[in-house]
Amino acid sequence: MDSAVKEKKERNKISVFSNGMKTELFLIIVLSLLAVFFAVTSDVFFTLSNLKTLTRQASIYGVIAIGMVVVITSSGIDLSVGSVTGLSGVVAALLMVNGISIPVSIIIAIITGMFIGLINGVLVYDGKVPAFIATMGTMTVVRAVIMLLTNASMISKLPEEFKAIAQIEVLNIPFLFVVWLVVIALAWFMTSKTVFGRNVYAVGSNREAARLSGINIRKTTYGVYIFSGLACSIAGILLASRLGNGVPTAGAGYELDAIAAAVVGGASLDGGAGSIVGTVLGSMIMATLRQGGVLLGVNSFILEIVIGSLIVGAVLLDKLRR
């Protein structure tokens, strides 16, 4: 009997590992095929300049997606990520043009994003508001706050040192990509090697069972939304630096790409399943589609149809698999 149970456990381990590897391998194949397609159809796709532009764009989407996948894994959703991204960039820009130093402005902008994340966590856990509704409300309120702060006008004349952040390269690699790698490493360690990370998966898999086992649901819920706010604030600062201005509409619609990257990367909207590596690959696929579409002059609405179809297809496959 013991040997049979042990054999069954081993088969389960192999099965889980294989499914994860299959998903990531499939994403690598898709990304490779897209790269080959755009390389054949565009002469500039594989130029160094275009690849740097691609990685800069993917880095901003990718940082947001990392925060999103942690929330989705806990069986939540965060529709406010685009607005929080825009708010963080605008807050940093407003502070800098009013004489506050760049480091202090960045720190305050990050704290602002994390505070919005905390509000989302309070609404979801303490207010018992469904995550979809809570974060949709936050998205609307934050976007309105941005318009009030900026009077719906662009904030210009940012310090040249701040604008240079998006152009800095480390060993010929865009600094934005280096920041993304740091966020990836932090998220991987957090979800794989810490008690909090294990709690996130447990809460997403079975909230009641997690509660009965002694997991603090409140702290876990607060944590995932605060981390999402942190990721968005980092992305917002990078985006403001890349644009060279505080743009009131910055980040609009980014929640779609973040959800797409997470879901295509293997995250389940039912919770309990999410992959940092898969989300990174999903982000690269989204960025490659957009950049390749721009190079080929593809109508932007057609790209939105493709991305929307990817989300629906990924969710459908997850449901069928389960």
Which residues of the chain carry a pLDDT beneath 70?
Answer: 1-21, 318-319, 321-322
**Alpha carbons 155 and 252: distance in angstroms, whole number:** 17
**Alpha carbons 316 and 263: distance in angstroms, whole number:** 10
**Alpha carbons 175 and 52: distance in angstroms, whole number:** 10
Report pLDDT for 108.
Answer: 95
User: Cα angle vertex 61, ends 164, 47, to 5°?
Assistant: 65
Rama region for 298: left / alpha / beta (φ>0; ψ in -120 to 50; rest): beta
Alpha-carbon torsion angle 257, 150, 164, 282, nearest 10: 0
Closest CA to 279 of 291, 263, 293: 263
Query: Which residue is listed with tokens 């809460």?
Result: 203
**Alpha carbons 165 and 169: distance in angstroms, whole number:** 9
Report pLDDT for 267.
Answer: 81
> Three-state SS for 152?
coil
Pairing of strands 169-170, 173-174: antiparallel
* Segment 111-169, tens digit of pLDDT: 999 999 999 999 998 899 998 999 999 999 999 999 999 888 888 888 989 988 888 88
CA–centroid distance for 137 within its chain: 19
**Alpha carbons 162 and 238: distance in angstroms, whole number:** 9
Report pLDDT for 114.
Answer: 95
Q: Give the other-Cβ count within 10 Å of 16's Cβ.
A: 11
Closest CA to 251 of 21, 133, 129, 87: 87
Report pLDDT for 246.
Answer: 87
Report pLDDT for 321.
Answer: 65
Report pLDDT for 194.
Answer: 87
**Alpha carbons 20 and 98: distance in angstroms, whole number:** 49
Q: 46-80: b or e for each residue (b if 16 or more CB lie within 10 Å)?
A: eeeebebebbbbbbbbbbbbbbbbbbbbbbbbbbb
Where do runs of H (alpha helix) occur along the chain?
Answer: 2-41, 48-73, 81-97, 102-125, 131-150, 160-163, 175-193, 195-205, 207-212, 217-243, 254-264, 276-296, 300-321
Report pLDDT for 107.
Answer: 95
- The DSSP letter of residue 127 is S
> Three-state SS for 174?
strand
